[in-house]
Amino acid sequence: MKSIFFYSFAFLSLLFLFGCKQNDAIEKTKISAVANSIKYAKGLELYHYQGFTVMKVTKPWPDATTEFTYILKEKYGVVPDSSKQYPVIPVPIQSIVVTSTTHIPALEMLGVENTLIGFPSTNFISSSKTRKLIDAGKIREVGVNESLNTEVLIDMKPDAIVTFGINNNNSTIDNLKKSGLNVLINGDWTEQSPLGKAEWIKFFGALYNLDTKANSLFTSIETNYNNALALANKKTTQPTVLSGAIYQDQWYVPQGESWVSLFLRDAKANYLWKETKGFGSLSLPFEKVFEKGKNAEFWIAPGDFSSLKQMSESSSHYTEFDSFKNKKVYSYAVNKGPKGGIVYFELASARPDLVLKDLIKIFHPELLPNYNPFFFKKLE
């Protein structure tokens, strides 16, 4: 009798162990079988499963060695045990606090701007649609990104707080997490490719369970961008372009691998510092810039100046360039919101197709005869 019991127990134990291993194998197979749905962005990954999504922010800041993983769980979704080590956030969220103006366009494009309940330094927001919500008292001030008001945020209890970081040492974010709030790091600002930045709309689409809408919006932007690019590729001539301005006795020009430089390349312009390495700005003495850029045909993005008079009053050196003399200086700083916020800073990363068309219109106007530039305006 004992032997029968022993063999029965052993057989059942083997079945149990085999079943557990089989379930683990099935779970691992399912996890590994799903492809990342992100196409251009280098710092974002999205893996969609039945009932939940794995979101990874792989480049939260430049040269980051830290990654952030979030599990976005639908109402009846079942999250595997292997994924429960990460923050689990119920979706769709119903309220949000964001900390960068670049996040505002994504909310508006998705039609969820009414869920925004907090923002640091609201005067920087340019969008008229979101400004109406601010004026109506529906969006509260929550400090500044580096020092968010913890007490206010705990009192507000948003479903998600989307912030950004320059490193992994932010005690405010740590305290908010300890208080039980869902804090997500957004790294859209580290992206260098125009379409890579724009694709971060899918980050917000996943939070609201609006992935289909986010994908559709991005596909439209991607198509518009590529159509404009194909149009520009017809040109064989490339006008020379100067960029940047003087700050504290040094001239800062976009480096050759920067976001701005890539736009100029795609618009078929010969940017004079396109061969330099780096993604930020290059600091140069005036003499070096003048030597190379004196005869440049166009001057794009001369800092935050909004008139030639402002430029000449700031530095007489500006008036020595041919592009200034010929009034071929174009700035993004003319188009401002009601509180003085520059629209370009808020919207350009979400709409690279408009930026590219602006530049094509400037350099090759015959390609877009009926188009009126949205961001860049000719300085008078």
Q: What is the pTM of this model?
A: 0.89
What is residue 26's predicted lDDT score, i.e. its pLDDT? 39
| Planar angle of CA 133, 139, 144, nearest 5 degrees | 135
Query: Using one digit for the tens of pLDDT, what is the confidence trace for 132-155?
Result: 999 999 999 998 766 789 999 999
Residue entry with tokens 């520059």: 342
Q: Which residues of 160-184 are buried (b: 16+ CB within 10 A; e: fewer)?
A: bbbbbbeeeebebbeebeeeebbbb
What is residue 1's predicted lDDT score, i.e. its pLDDT? 45
32-222 matches 233-378 in fold: yes
What is residue 2's predicted lDDT score, i.e. its pLDDT? 42
Q: Cα–Cα distance between 198 and 353 in angstroms, integer?
A: 9
**What is the dotted CATH code of the domain comprising 233-378?**
3.40.50.1980
- Residue numbers of the chain with a pLDDT score lower than 70: 1-32, 145-146
What is residue 195's predicted lDDT score, i.e. its pLDDT? 97
Containing H/E element for 289?
helix 286-293
What is residue 32's predicted lDDT score, i.e. its pLDDT? 52
CATH class of residue range 32-222: alpha beta
What is residue 31's predicted lDDT score, i.e. its pLDDT? 53
What is residue 172's predicted lDDT score, i.e. its pLDDT? 85
Query: Using one digit for the tens of pLDDT, what is the confidence trace for 193-235?
Result: 999 999 999 999 999 999 999 999 999 999 999 999 999 999 9
Domain boundaries along the sequence of the chain: 32-222, 233-378
What is residue 22's predicted lDDT score, i.e. its pLDDT? 43
What is residue 21's predicted lDDT score, i.e. its pLDDT? 43
